[in-house]
Amino acid sequence: MKTYNLMLVAALCGSLTSCFKDEPLNAECDIEQAYVHIDNPTEIFFSASDTLVNVLSDATEITFEMKEGADVSAVAPQFRLTEGATVSPASGTVHDFSGGRTVVYTVTSQDGSWQKSYNVSFRVAYNVSEYSFENTRLVDGAAGGQYYEWSDLSSSGEWMGNWATGNPGFNLSAQFLGGTTPPEDYPSVSVSDGYIGKGVKLETKSTGDFGSIVSMGIAAGNLFIGEFDAQKALSGTDGAMQATMFGRPFSQEPLQFTGWYKYKSAGQCVDGKRRPIAGTHDSGDIYAVLYRNHDDAGNAFVLHGDDVKTSKYIVAIAQVPDIKDTDDWTEFTVNFEYNGNIDRELLANRGYSLAVVATSSTEGARFRGAIGSTLYIDELKVICAEQTEQP
């Protein structure tokens, strides 16, 4: 049975590559990292680590965030590709990215059979602190079908891609459930009847027999500021914890977290094999976290599912307490509780990140929850100190 489990996981993870492989090593055509070499990085970026972008397996947009007024009229992005792949235009060639220009790079696999295109751009770093969830779209899943994703817009109206969900992982597991799952049956769904305009519905779903076999039998509905790596999500419980990468750089001091929700618990929780857990009752979770985004050695750092509330780099948390069952939209206002003082210079240089998180099952990241628990959210807002200027 252990061998069978591993074979299933390997098969599922293999389907995550954007270019389906008939042979190992030579049919992938992905950009894994994008970076720029600049003698003085802080002329363009807030931090030297901003010169590097790690690219997720299902991504087609690569965006470098820069300072306002930075000169990107002659920049030469470089790329780390999957083995044997080539890229056109060539890695390291100079291009003009000013004025929001995008350069399209096409990667070809070593065997010449597969191609993938990436849009590379440079965007002024921008804080977003009000979230209405009106901007949503359906995207094609790697395993077929479509699911919802959300984004706020930048000051110039660009799709920022700052919100993530576990929908890409559910899309891959859904192929083992038989047939294509409609977008409305995913754990995270856009709804038209939010508190104002559109809202978000988060529901804990079953992942079927396959999910139960590999101890990932449920998928909680979730929505969070950050990124989701579907390849890691389906590599076991430890990998799933690392799949959620919480937060984006932020340069304002948050004081309060407000918003609206509705919730209905489905009762007793089950574990990853969907076995009932005695003495449990499922609950939803809504919170915001401010944390330092570089570790003690100065390396870029993000929170994951295993430390999003416990990391030593967290400086403040705003947690919505005791989410009760309610059929009516219910308002909440909670203060950020600080465990120390903010470094003002570090804050101004986007040395902190903000994560806003909502899920239908508090222990969903550990594949514990009640199938059918449902959380609706809308009109979230992080209220910040007025004296802190936005870059």
**3 state SS of 287:** strand
Give the global pTM: 0.89
Residue 318 identity (one-letter amino acid)? A
* Two structure tokens written together for 333: 């206002």
Bridge-partner residues for 359, per DSSP?
222, 285
Share of the chain above pLDDT 70, in %: 89
Average pLDDT over residues 365-391: 86
Confidence of residue 168 (pLDDT cuts 50, 70, 90): very high
The whole-number average pLDDT for the span 147-156 is 92
State the chain's mean pLDDT as an integer: 90
pLDDT at 211: 84
pLDDT at residue 284, as a whole number: 98
Report pLDDT digits (tens) over 243-284: 999 999 999 999 999 999 999 999 999 999 999 999 999 999
- Give the model's confidence band at 27: pLDDT under 50 very low, under 70 low, under 90 confident, else very high: confident
| DSSP bridge partners of 262 | 376
The model's pLDDT over 170-185, given as tens digits with 9 standing for 90+, comes to 998 876 666 679 999 9
Give me the mean pLDDT over the 43-51 stretch: 95
pLDDT above 90 covers what percent of the chain? Answer: 78
Q: What per-residue confidence (pLDDT) applies to 353?
A: 98
Residue 102 has pLDDT above 50, yes or no: yes
For position 173, what pLDDT does the model report?
80
The 10s digit of each residue's pLDDT in 186-239 is 999 999 999 999 999 999 999 988 788 888 999 999 999 999 998 787 666 667
* Rounded Cα gap, residues 50 and 60, in angstroms: 19
**What is the maximum alpha-carbon separation in the chain?**
62
Return d(Cα 270, Cα 281) in angstroms, integer. 10
Asked whether the predicted pLDDT for residue 45 surpasses 60, the reply is yes
Residue 281: both structure tokens together: 């009752």
Query: What's residue 388's pLDDT?
Result: 40
**Predicted confidence band at 10 (pLDDT cuts at 50, 70, 90)?**
very low
**DSSP code string of 104-151:** EEEEE-TTSS-EEEEEEEEEE-----EE----EEEEE-TTSSEEEEE-
Residues 6+ apart with CB under 8 A from 193: 199
Residue 54 has pLDDT above 60, yes or no: yes
What value does the mean pLDDT take over residues 37-55?
95
Strands 115-124 and 61-66: parallel
Handedness of CA 274, 2, 12, 33 (dihedral sign): positive
| Cα 57 to Cα 33: distance, rounded to the nearest angstrom | 10
